Structure 1
Amino acid sequence: MSDLRRVSSNPHVRSRTTTSNIMMWVVIALLPAAGFGIYNFGLDALIILLLSVASCVLSEFIYEKALGKPVTVGDFSAVVTGLLLGMNLPSTVPWWIPVLGGIFAIIMVKQLFGGLGQNFMNPALGGRCFLMISFPAIMTNFVTDTYTGATPLANLKNGVEVNVMDMLIGRTAGTIGETSMLCIAIGAIILFALGIIDYVIPFTYIISFALFVAFFGGYGFNWSYISAQLAGGGLMLGAFFMATDYVTCPITPKGRVIYGLFLGILTGIFRIFGANAEGVSYAIVITNLLVPLIEKFTIPRAFGIKKSAKKEAKKA
């Protein structure tokens, strides 16, 4: 019989894009911000990044080997988690902080829930939040030989004027990968150009946050204040590299918009009304938990099915 009659299971059209390809490009897109962090904070930053990546990769390898599971470190997802976690840490933390954070991110947040594709929140941010709650003094120490003052966001919260141009370039205190908005933007452009991320979530996030700050920040539509809030802290890194995580963001079109709105509002609440100057990590983690609920109410109706018929089917 001719092979032309043989029918295989769907999908019949496959893309050459793989998880490892996507993750590799994400790593490449993160390199400008990571590289500037090393330039900005020195050898300590490089050591933190290497320890973070190594702990994530080894944790995944050892866990999967111990349980007899297929080893998946070749998909680069653990590398992305380690790099993001390291970029969200101050260069002043002791060596065991990125190691502990990497183990928690991979084992507790990712592997115990089934591995890549099953985690309920972004592993890197889960690890960072764990470290923030457990070691707040260590995680908020940004004093280095180069920068001895408070971070720009802390100054903003205290009513102190900040230099927005320094924040755009990255000549400020902060975590290793969040200081240079320019380098983060370069990485985001790479992801946009390759179609790895789209504009809906990050732009909805940024715009809703800007509007929230304008209405509730106490300065109105003061562009200097709004731009400083946008350029400061982990907002840009979170918006382009963590809020867009395929596993933990909605797949429905309306859901992605609602997701971005929640992110912007929560980040604004934490920054304006919270005790700390930052709030991106907690905003993304909390909104990750809301994704199943968001998707439940934003699933598109199947073509040809009326609302009434759908309700009757549910009742039956």
Structure 2
Amino acid sequence: MSAALVSSPHGSRPNRVDRVMQEVLLALVPGVLAMIWFFGWGVLINIALAVTVAVAAEAAVMGLRRRPIGPAVGDYSAVVTAVLFAISVPPTLPWWMTLLGMLFAIVLVKQLYGGIGYNPFNPAMAAYVFLLVSYPVAMTTWLAPDMLAEHAVSFTESLRLIFAGALPSGVEWDAISAATPLDEMRGKLDQGMLIAEIRLSPLWGDFGGRGWEWVANGFLLGGVYLLWRRIITWHIPVSMLAALAVAAGAFWLLDPTTHPFPAFHLFSGAAILGAFFIATDPVSACTTKTGQLIFGASIGLLVFVIRTWGGYPDAVAFAVLLMNIAAPTIDHYTQPRVFGHTGNRANP
């Protein structure tokens, strides 16, 4: 009778890629449901379209490389990339832009470098920035939250907007669209308005924009779930959010009339989503604990700098990609000390 030999480590719960990705998808559910509730069916349509294109592109590239298709598609990494991309873009983004973004993410950013585990940049954020730079108007045209819109866009109307570019009958863009809280704040401050005046608009909630802050709370709940399940560690999300809050708080204390309260930066835009789901990408982020603290804090500072003085109000995607470039160097200089040595010591 022969016994099977199993190499170490002997873990009862293997940290397989497919299991990790499934946990990430589960953690995204509260935030995605909040987005659908406040911004309509276009969010769900974008997700379905992005996932379909991403999986098809992954399978096609693996087939061309003559590699097994099943394991590549079955690890859910392409699905996670697609969902992260789809919830980062406007709910009415034309279908061909979603197609273009997913091809860019999977074929160029991921597979061109060798597939999962080898891509130096976060594929979803690279695709987002590619489209934002190429098509800035379409990528910044968001629907108004449901409670602020003059016309609620139905599922059928969302399909027509995405695939045909046709507005609902008798409805103009102004009736269904609105500036994001970050765009609104930045634009009004550039016009010389004070924050107290800007916040008189019905767009604002307790901290961020109405609807937007509840979406952030949904992703925060999912992030806590990932920490509880030990899918991610606290180092990157806590350091990123803390650095963003500290930088925003310092300028708010200096001049609260022209710099928003720190909670505004945390609960507007993609700060929470970026901290827990994007910056923590195990492939393109730092791996050492010290490096993760530096990596996360640097992203937080870059987000504040770009939001305050740059040309793109959200800035999370740009900050993550910039730090993806620096991640290998940070890891190199933050390796933990190794005790002991190899080789034979000379006899005295």
TM-score higher than 0.5:
yes
- Pick the aligned partner of 1:11 from 8, 18, 27: 8
Determine the structure 2 residue equivalent to 1:56. Answer: 54
- Compute the displacement of 1:277 (Å): 1.5
- Compute the displacement of 1:298 (Å): 0.6
Task: With the length of structure 2 as denominator, give the TM-score of the two structures.
Answer: 0.79
Give the whole-Å Cα distance in 1 for the aligned partners of 2:5 and 2:139: 57
Determine the structure 1 residue equivalent to 2:275. Answer: 239
**One-letter identity of the residue aligned with 1:258:** I
Aligned Cα root-mean-square deviation (Å):
2.5
- Tell me, what secondary structure is at the counterpart of 1:165? coil
**One-letter identity of the residue aligned with 2:10:** V
**One-letter identity of the residue aligned with 1:112:** L
Determine the structure 2 residue equivalent to 1:312. Answer: none
Give the whole-Å Cα distance in 1 for the aligned partners of 2:245 and 2:93: 31
- Tell me, what secondary structure is at the counterpart of 1:37? helix
- In structure 2, relative to structure 1, the CA distance for the partners of 1:296 and 1:17 (3 Å cut) is closer
1:191 maps to 2:226: yes
- Compute the displacement of 1:107 (Å): 0.6
1:42 maps to 2:35: no
Determine the structure 2 residue equivalent to 1:171. Answer: 211
1:262 maps to 2:303: no
Give the whole-Å Cα distance in 2 for the aligned partners of 1:226 and 1:209: 8
Structure 1, unaligned runs of 5 or more: 173-177, 306-316
- In structure 2, relative to structure 1, the CA distance for the partners of 1:51 and 1:179 (3 Å cut) is farther
- Tell me, what secondary structure is at the counterpart of 1:180? helix
**One-letter identity of the residue aligned with 2:45:** I
Structure 2, unaligned runs of 5 or more: 145-150, 153-175, 190-197, 342-348
Determine the structure 2 residue equivalent to 1:299. Answer: 335
> Which deviates more, 38-47 or 122-131?
38-47
- Compute the displacement of 1:16 (Å): 2.3
Give the whole-Å Cα distance in 2 for the aligned partners of 1:184 and 1:67: 36
Number of equivalences: 296
Cα deviation, 1:55-94, whole Å, max 9, x if unaligned, reads 1111101110122112211001111000000000101211
CA contact (8 A) 1:164 1:227 kept: no
Give the whole-Å Cα distance in 2 for the aligned partners of 1:101 and 1:214: 35
Determine the structure 2 residue equivalent to 1:313. Answer: none
Determine the structure 2 residue equivalent to 1:110. Answer: 110
Give the whole-Å Cα distance in 1 for the aligned partners of 2:14 and 2:264: 41
**One-letter identity of the residue aligned with 1:165:** D
Task: With the length of structure 1 as denominator, give the TM-score of the two structures.
Answer: 0.86
- Compute the displacement of 1:301 (Å): 2.0
Determine the structure 1 residue equivalent to 2:308. Answer: 272
Give the whole-Å Cα distance in 2 for the aligned partners of 1:30 and 1:223: 31
What is the identity percentage for the equivalent residue pairs of Structure 1 and Structure 2?
Answer: 32
1:72-111 equivalent positions in 2, closer than 5 A: 72-111=72-111
**One-letter identity of the residue aligned with 1:205:** M
Give the whole-Å Cα distance in 1 for the aligned partners of 2:9 and 2:316: 40
